[in-house]
Structure 1
Amino acid sequence: MGYDAKFRVWRGDADGGDLQDYTVLANDGEVVLDIIHRLQATQTPDLAVRWNCKAGKCGSCSAEVNGRPKLLCMTRMSTFTEDEVITVTPMRTFPVIRDLVTDVSFNYAKAREIQSFTPPEGLKAGEYRMKQVDVARSQEFRKCIECFLCQDTCHVVRDHEENKQNFAGPRFLMRVAELDMHPLDVAERRDSAQSEHGLGLCNITKCCTDVCPEHIKITDNALIPMKERVVDRHYDPLVWLGNKLFRR
């Protein structure tokens, strides 16, 4: 059985915009993206929204619903009351292109800054051998669909534009941590995590974990262990002494 849902949707572009109110039919079993599509079909054909799979696997329809970063296709209408006003806005951390579509090129730039998987010299593709325990350690991080909700909610970049140059954000620090855990990767990840990707700016509030639609424990399983390994490298007195002796 359907009802008239009250929506408040941000409309505008890079030059500015505002929230506009709409009343639109909502049916049982629908998600917020269904309502946005119905708005396009019946009232606002010029409403811009990015989407693709509608199955929570492509990460395209990222936005903010009632101020919380979410996938529109995974946010069920049944989680709201019928008299509730549902506010849909673009991700706040990234520049608006138009309506609910933002420019997320920042994330692709950060991805390019990370050195790719680097196997030992002379080891050819097809000769890689890993134990299952090593595969399991990083398998969780491979579930990332790059919706960039963790990047959007991270206050280090959300509230401090000046940090964007020196901070990769949780998604890409997780990638660095994943590669550092790989037993066949020989690149120096710990120094670069701190000096190039801004690991020290992360204060582990776990807001990135809270919004991850794949339920990846970004903070507990990637960022905190990476921080611990960096601390061991730079501040553990035994490691420091070993490095001094090794240099001699």
Structure 2
Amino acid sequence: MSYRATFRVWRGDASGGRLQPYEVEVNEGEVVLDVVHRLQATQTPDLAVRWNCKAGKCGSCSAEVNGRPRLMCMTRMSTLPPDEPVTLTPMRTFPVVRDLVTDVSFNYAKAREIPSFVPPPGVAPGAYRMAQQDVGRSQEFRKCIECFLCQDVCHVIRDHEENKPVYAGPRFLMRIAELDMHPLDAAAGAGIDRSRSAQDDHGLGYCNITRCCTDVCPERITITENALIPLKERAADRKYDPLVWLGSKIRRRR
């Protein structure tokens, strides 16, 4: 079964652009990216779009479908109203390069600001041992494919460009939480307080846990409840709880 659909695709570059309408054939079982490829093949070969695996694992084809951040390769046409136009626009939070392609270098810059895993002293890499329940706490976060949809939907930077220098966004606050929960991370011994850094250096306080990042994650990572809220609790404990503060001083003195 096939039908004709109207696609309104944003065409332009950093200087500006507009929505361009196209009539295109849609076949049963197709996803939005299939239709975009058909547009390139039949009507607009110069349409710029990123894609790679077409299997929901590379995170390349992020865009906004009818105003919602999605992976085009994971958005089935059968989930969209067939009698309404499908509007494709680039991710709004990042600068447009051309058409549906955006400059996501902001995210790589934020990734470089986060100190990496600090190996435990005196333990060789092959000798790391962890309980499965400790592994499970942060293993979920390793599923991230860096599509940056959570970054795109986060209103802290989506609606406030001025926050970008001081706010890492949910993807990288989740990375800090992952490291802070790692049972073998020896960052504290190296003078790195991850939860304090999340608050002071990466803007954790800007997050008001609206859960929009969790809602758009194609890997269904529970970013808000499992990463951001626990990280906020740790940051608050270490800053305001007198017993936690005292314990940190005792350990440091030893």
The normalised TM-score by structure 1 is 0.97
What is the match of residue 222 of structure 2?
217
Which residue pairs with 2:200 in the alignment? 195
Q: CA deviation at 1:239?
A: 2.6
Q: Secondary structure at the match of 1:205?
A: coil
Report the counterpart of residue 163 of structure 1 in structure 2.
163
Task: Say what the alpha-carbon RMSD is for the aligned residues.
Answer: 1.4
Secondary structure (helix, strand or coil) at the match of 2:125 reads: coil
1:190 deviates by 1.2
- SS for the counterpart of 2:73 is helix
In structure 2, list runs of 5 or more residues that go unmatched.
Answer: 188-192
Q: Determine the structure 1 residue equivalent to 2:148.
A: 148
Deviation at 1:120, TM superposition (A): 1.9
User: Counterparts of 1:81 and 1:196 in 2: how far apart (Å)?
Assistant: 44
Equivalent residue for 1:180?
A: 180
Q: Deviations over 1:226-246 (max 9, x none)?
A: 100111101113334555777
Runs of 4+ deviating beyond 6 Å: 244-248
**Residue 127 (1) aligns with residue 127 (2):** yes
Counterpart position of 1:25: 25
User: CA separation in 2, counterparts of 1:193 and 1:164?
Assistant: 14
Letter matched to residue 201 of structure 2: E
Q: Per-residue CA shift, 1:36-66, capped at 9, x if unaligned?
A: 0000000000000000000101000000000
The normalised TM-score by structure 2 is: 0.94
In structure 2, how many angstroms separate the alpha carbons of the residues matched to 1:158 and 1:11?
20
* Counterpart-to-counterpart distance in 1, 2:133 and 2:249: 33
Once residues 21 and 174 of structure 1 are traced to their aligned partners in structure 2, the CA distance between those partners, rounded to angstroms, is: 38
Return the alpha-carbon distance in structure 1 between the equivalents of residues 35 and 127 of structure 2: 50
In the alignment, the residues of structure 2 paired with residue 129 and residue 245 of structure 1 have an alpha-carbon distance, to the nearest angstrom, of 26
Letter in 2 for 1:138: S
Determine the C-alpha separation between the residues in 2 that align with 1:212 and 1:203: 18
Residue identity (%): 78
User: Which whole-Å deviations, capped at 9, do the CAs of 1:173-212 have from their partners, x for residues lacking one?
Assistant: 0000000000110212111111111111110000000000
Q: Quickly say closer, same or farther: Cα 1:246–1:79, change in 2 above 3 A.
A: closer
Moved more, 212-221 or 233-242: 233-242
Q: CA 1:241 to 1:61, structure 2 compared with 1: closer, same or farther past 3 Å? A: same
The CA distance in 1 between the partners of 2:142 and 2:46, in whole Å, is 36
Partner of 2:234: 229
2:190 is matched with which residue?
none
- SS of residue in 2 equivalent to 1:23: strand
Hey, what's the Cα distance between the residues in 1 that align with 2:247 and 2:91? 47
List alignment gaps of at least 5 residues for structure 1: none
User: Residues 67-82 of structure 1: matches in 2 within 5 Å?
Assistant: 67-82=67-82
Query: Residues 103-132 of structure 1, C-alpha deviation per residue, up to 9 Å, x if partnerless?
Result: 000000111111000022232211211111
User: CA offset at residue 82 of structure 1?
Assistant: 1.9
